[in-house]
């Protein structure tokens, strides 16, 4: 069993240190995933919190993937459900992803780059956006994405290829990439 799964099990058993470690390591990507799926910063905290609650209450019978993938699947499904319930989209440019750097210049440059990437992702079709978010923010394998979305593996691969290509083209047009 990987150390992430061991931390997960210790958190489930009520160990406060493991709980803090699990949240610290997983929360930033879950926030980004929920934000990209819903586009609504007001929903993100509730989705991430509910993800941890459901994960810790569920009976996990397999550990074939990673803890991040497991949590990402829960967060993705909750975000899709919340997005459908809200029936509204807030531009991703209004959102601020968490930053780890304390250097102000690096933080500003990263935030600007993240904003441009968010715009490029926002311009994708819903199908392309879903697979891209699950792959790069949920860190799911192609096979896990296919299971999550209930689509063939080839469909996942082609959507990711086309989504990345579209994002690159959009970022080149904006001068973010050479």
Which domains are delineated in the chain?
Answer: 3-173 (1.10.10.10)
* H/E stretch holding 126: helix 126-136
| Ramachandran bin of 111, using left for φ above 0, alpha for ψ from -120 to 50, beta for the remaining angles | alpha
Q: Alpha-carbon distance 107 to 155, whole Å?
A: 36
CB-based burial of residue 9 (10 Å sphere; 0-12 exposed, 13-18 middle, 19+ buried)?
middle
Prediction pTM value: 0.65
Q: Alpha-carbon distance 138 to 109, whole Å?
A: 23
Contact of 89 with 39, CB cutoff 8 Å:
yes
Contact of 159 with 146, CB cutoff 8 Å:
no
The mean pLDDT values, 10 residues at a time, for the chain of 178 residues are 82 90 91 85 91 87 81 90 67 48 70 81 88 86 91 94 92 82
Per-residue pLDDT at 175: 81
Per-residue pLDDT at 87: 55
Number of CB atoms found within 10 A of residue 19's CB: 18
């Amino acid at each position: 069993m990987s150390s992430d799964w061991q931390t997960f099990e210790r958190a489930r058993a009520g160990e406060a240190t493991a709980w803090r470690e699990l949240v610290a390591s997983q929360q930033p990507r879950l926030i980004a995933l929920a934000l990209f799926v819903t586009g609504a910063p007001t929903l993100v905290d509730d989705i991430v919190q509910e993800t941890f609650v459901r994960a810790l209450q569920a009976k996990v019978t397999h550990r074939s993937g990673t803890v991040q993938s497991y949590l990402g699947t829960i967060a993705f499904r909750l975000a899709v459900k919340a997005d459908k319930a809200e029936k509204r989209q807030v531009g991703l440019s209004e959102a601020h992803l968490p930053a780890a750097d304390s250097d102000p210049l690096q933080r500003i440059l990263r935030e600007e780059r993240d904003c441009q990437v968010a715009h490029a992702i926002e311009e994708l079709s819903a199908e392309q956006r879903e697979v891209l978010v699950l792959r790069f923010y949920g860190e799911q394998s192609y096979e896990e994405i296919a299971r999550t979305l209930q689509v063939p593996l080839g469909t996942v691969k082609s959507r990711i290829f086309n989504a990345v290509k579209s994002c690159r083209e959009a970022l080149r047009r904006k001068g973010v990439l050479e």
